Every structure is written in C-alpha cells, then in structure tokens.
Amino acid sequence: MVRRKAEWPAEDELVLCTIKKVFAQGAFAALDEFEGKEGMIHISEVASGWIKNIRDFVKEGQKTVCKVLAVNPQKGHVDLSMRRVKDSQRRWKALQFKHEQRAEKLLELAAKKLRKSLDKAYDEVGFALQDRFGDLYSALEAVATKGKDALAGIDIDKKWIEAISEVASSTVEAQMVEVGGHVELSCPASNGVDVIKSALINARASTKTPDVDVDAYYVGSPRYRVRISAPSYKVAENTLQKFADIAIADVKKAGGKGELIRASKGG
C-alpha cells in the first residue's frame, strides 16, 4: 500500500477508493491511500441526474476516484463525491496511483542498498520527498532529470541521496504533464488591448521556469488559451492558477476584469 504522511485526506483532494458497501442512500468506500479510513458517498454525489437504482452506478469491490467534500477527523467522517470528478481527473489519478506504487518499489530498492526496511525509508526520506515534491514519483522524476541537485536543501542523509539518485537515474524516465484552460480578460480603458497584452506577458514571465513551460495565445475576444507543461499534474495546475491570478490582477488594476475557465477534459 502506498503510504502518505497525512493521516487524513484534504478537502477537494482526489482519492482512489474501493467500494465496500452499497445501500439505498449511498455507499461506503475505503480510502486506498489512507489505511483504515473510509468515506461515504451520498446517492446525490454518485452521478448527475435522477438515480432509480444506485447499483446501476456503483457496486461492491469497484475501484473509483472520488473528490473529498469534507473531512471531520474528530468524528471519523469523510464525505466523498463521484460525480464531481472529471474524466481527465479520473484518468490522471489512476495513473498517479500506479506511478506511486512503482515509486514505492523503487524506494524499497534504495532502502535495500542501505540495508534498511521500507518503514525506515519512509521515515528517513520518503515523507520528506512527499513534502517537497508532492509525491514520491515526482521526486524520482526530478532526480532523473536534474540529478542529485534536485534533492538540494532537503534534510536527508547523504547515503540516501546516493541511493535515491542511483535508483532514479537508472529506472525512471522523466515525463511532462500538460493542462490547459482559458483566461477571459476584458478592459474598457482606451489602451485596454495593451493592458491585456502586458498582463499576459507578465503572467508568463512570472510563471515560466526551466521545468515549466507556459504558452498563452489569443482565441477570440475576450478569451485567451493557456497551456502549461510541467513535471507533475499538481505543479501544472498550480501554475495555471498562478498565471490566471497574475493576469487578472493586472487587468483589474486598469479597471478591467477576468476569469479562469479550466478545460473540461484533459488539456
């Protein structure tokens, strides 16, 4: 089982689940990444529209991806939704989980080189990599791309750096994830076109890095297409949001307005 440092999922997080029990008003699901934790999917969150028979949509033993609506650790309650997960998010989450399973095997391999257990590996380096990169696989991808420099500034033993670097460089192929959306910008000022152009240039300059590629182009007034390529879905999504926030803020300063519209599927 892939391990997480957090004991509970965060609100709005996507989680991989296994349906344990289905009843008339919903279903209970085990959270595959959070050992011993379960959540409830109310029938209104199973699918859009009227549901005559819930078992037409969900069955015991089914693997699914859910969005976390609310978490109450004190009561042990997690509210989940199936219908609020887009197809692109479902595919991404399933792929991410497979990557994390592979990354855990590689972490275990690195641990064996140091004659340590997987438990020790998580305590001494695994959770630290999750904190820095969001997940283990993204950490190994970064090391595969940049080498040991990717681990600079992380408080881990040099022996771990050597072992992780050796495993990553020989078994992990760096990949890029792409997400897209539209930013709608309008400005009534006499120089509105220049304001928008400047806002887009500033947003791109502020978000583009050696690891993240940002592209924005005109689609049709007032819409501008934005594409982000990054080492992980999380980084790409965060960059898209940051790009939009910067561009919209600049346009608002000149009396205009803006809105981010995320792509409904894939990029």
Number of helical (H) and strand (E) elements in the chain, helices listed first: 7, 9
> Which one, of 75, 76, 74, 93, lies nearest residue 84 by Cα?
93
Higher pLDDT, 205 or 266: 205
Per-residue pLDDT for 215 more than 50?
A: yes
Task: Express each pLDDT in 15-59 by its tens digit.
Answer: 999 999 999 999 999 999 898 999 999 999 999 989 999 999 999
pLDDT digits (tens, 9 = 90+) for 110-122: 999 999 999 999 9
Strands (E), 32-62: 38-42
DSSP class of 54: G
Cα 191 to Cα 194, 196, 197, 203: the distances in Å are: 5, 9, 10, 18
Instruction: Report in angstroms the alpha-carbon separations of 265 from 89, 111, 118, 179, 234.
Output: 8, 39, 37, 9, 16
With beta carbons less than 8 A apart as the criterion, state whether 121 and 128 touch.
no
Q: How far is CA 59 from CA 32, 103, 116, in A?
A: 16, 30, 40
Q: Which position has the token pair 């999917």? A: 41
Query: pLDDT tens for residues 172-214?
Result: 655 677 888 889 999 999 999 999 999 999 999 999 987 788 9
Per-residue buried b or exposed e for 163-179, using 16+ beta carbons within 10 Å of the residue's own CB: bbbebbeeebeeeebeb
Nearest to 39 by CA among 57, 63, 66: 66
Domains and CATH numbers, the chain: 14-85 (2.40.50.140), 88-171 (1.10.150.190), 177-262 (3.30.70.1130)
